[in-house]
Amino acid sequence: MFLFACWWSVAAPAEATIKFVRDHLNIETSQGQTYRFEVELAVTPQQRAQGLMFREEMGRFEGMLFLFDREAPRSFWMRNTLLSLDLIFLNSKGEIVRIAPDAVPLDETPIPSGVPASAVLELLGGTAEDLALALGDRIRHRAFSP
């Protein structure tokens, strides 16, 4: 089981030197809605370790997409994360396989995927509920097979 901190540095310590590539993705719901998000990509071990730590604010349609080389059980925590986040675990096709809503800021309790996941999308806490996201909804991004 892997633990990754969720963080994003604003007034940050040394972690502020880690840069993230910005990209976009679409979330397609089973109700036929499509939502566009601007995301930062966490693809290297250093980026995944830093994540959203120390971030004090994030836009409503912004987030971070953590990408892994293969599907495996994943586990995140909220160490040094100041924002409540929804953790959306995804399979290699970009399908939502688990939603962990409203993760508690600064909590070090592991948040497991429960099933193998190849990516995790972190959004502001409450976003999954506001958009009525559900298991099986899809993320459209070049990292996922069609």
Position 16 confidence tier, pLDDT thresholds 50, 70, 90:
low
Phi/psi at 92 (5° precision): -70, -15
Average pLDDT, the chain: 91
Mean pLDDT of 76-89: 97
- Inform me whether the pLDDT recorded for 12 exceeds 70: no
pLDDT digits over 37-71, tens only?
999 999 999 999 999 999 999 999 999 999 999 99
DSSP three-state, residue 15 = helix
DSSP state of 145: -
The predicted structure's pLDDT at residue 21: 97
Every domain of the chain and the residues it spans? 3-140
How many CA atoms does the CB half-sphere of 36 hold within 13 Å?
Answer: 2
Amino acid identity for residue 100 in this structure:
A
Q: If pLDDT is split at 50, 70 and 90, which confidence band does 146 have? A: confident
- Whether pLDDT at 11 is above 60: no
Helix/strand/coil for 128:
helix
Token pair for residue 108?
């070090």
Question: Where does 3-140 sit in CATH, by number?
Answer: 2.60.120.1140
Contact between 6 and 51 (Cβ < 8 Å): yes
Give 62-81 pLDDT, tens digit per residue: 999 999 999 999 999 999 99
Cβ pair 94, 140 in contact under 8 A: yes
